[in-house]
Chains A and B, each alone.
Chain A
């Protein structure tokens, strides 16, 4: 039982990195990824686990209990936030820490999370966006006409985002274009509908694009000591906010 996990160190840390990559891509905090892998590493009786994570990279070095050093770096690309995956990965790590399983089973269970996590599907994404955009328009003081328009515009917005996802356009450009299209639509509609002003409609739809939570968590990262990861997040969030602003403003200037 004891030593056998440490003999296959290279494949072992590959497995750890798979889990870390999965969590990071699904939107887990840097802190959590580091903590999870450190715990799992110790559960598999590695002597030392040195992990450094930033938003798009994980670097992991472990020292086995017979003194050999294994190291690997993984570049992680961004993906859609999927908190169900984070929850499942967390549960897996809890179980592993309590009872370490053989490498093959560990690998299979990570693959299972990556592939077989339930999703709401595309239709639900539309419904969720319409609900959020409508709710936010009401939230910002819009009347019911504005709420209806906001719901309709958010369908266009989501179509835009999904389309740019499929074309693999950079997120910044996708946000800029989506914000532009959204503002154009809103201005076009409010031009003809007397009862609606564009402010609350645009605000309701901007909320779907805005990286407000990324900004908040990044600031928290900086304050709690993950300075590099936090600064990357802040920079990314500010750029995205700027992209939204450029998109909206350029559409407004056209109609001005």
Chain B
């Protein structure tokens, strides 16, 4: 039940940020669906492995793949869809907890949340890179194959 509430909240946050970033029309629907996918995948991986890095990494890869596919269907740049869809994963909660612990002088907690923050941000960045590189490879291979086919005919 909490998971369902979280996913619905993720959808609304993605919609809200899409509006803030001036996204119109059917792209709004795509980003809303993407917000659900992001957090859905995150929750699935996190409940299975209890590993924040892995959860962020897999969720980012899933959403990046979704963004690459939808960008080709909707004929827009990938970043336009990706940015609002990634919003639910931005580690604002950990930043806040790190800050409050800093004020309350819990250096152990500060280190824990700071570490988590770095892991999450790194995982998101690597997830984006892995899929965008894979996508480029696929496109190159596709172009290569079609060219060879044409040459053979």
Contacts and interface: CB of A to CB of B under 8 A. Distances in A.
Interface of A: 27-29, 32, 81-87, 90-91, 117-120, 124-125, 127-136, 138-141, 199, 202-203, 206-207, 210, 212-213, 215-217, 219-220, 223-224, 241, 244-245, 248-249, 252-253, 256
Given A87-B80, A203-B92, A216 B12 contact: no
A195 to B, nearest CB: 18
Question: Does more than half of chain B's interface fall in helix, strand or loop, or is it mixed?
Answer: helix
Contacts of A139: 6, 9-10, 13, 88
A213 B90 contact: yes
Interface residues of B, number: 46
Contact of A82 (B11, B21, B86): B21
Contacts of B40: none
A99 B11 CA distance: 40
B65 interface: no
B77 A219 contact: no
B12 A131 contact: yes
Contact of B79 (A32, A136, A138): A32
A88 B2 CA distance: 39
Interface of A is mostly: helix
A29 B128 contact: no
Nearest to A219: B125
A114 to B, nearest CB: 14
Contacts of A224: 129
B17 interface: yes
A213 B81 CA distance: 13
A203 B91 contact: no
B76 interface: yes
